[in-house]
Amino acid sequence: MADDANPSSDGGKTCPPCRGTGRIVSHLGGSASTVTCPWCEGTGRVLADHDAQAARRRPPAEPPDDAA
């Protein structure tokens, strides 16, 4: 069994959340569904300088000002 902390032959590290499969099980909405791993974007490898939760930290866009 390979050590996930060590680089593989292609130089990448296995993505810990999906264990290299590129897919995770999400329970959002109450039922389980398989979705693309947001940490590796489905590659199964750690992406350098990738922040899977950056979109959640951005402030929501303000609605257009229709009161004018």
Residues 11-61: tens digit of each pLDDT:
579 999 999 999 999 998 889 999 999 999 999 999 988 888 876 776 766
> What is each CA distance from 6 to 19, 20, 28, in whole angstroms?
13, 13, 32
Q: Give the per-residue pLDDT at 60.
A: 65
Q: Structural domain of residue 30, as residue ranges?
A: 9-48
Tell me if 15 is assigned to some domain: yes
What is the DSSP pairing of strand 23-26 with strand 33-36? antiparallel
Tell me if 31 is assigned to some domain: yes
List alpha helices for the chain, DSSP H: 54-57
Tell me if 39 is assigned to some domain: yes
Q: Give the per-residue pLDDT at 53.
A: 82
Specify the 3-state DSSP secondary structure of 33: strand
Tell me if 36 is assigned to some domain: yes
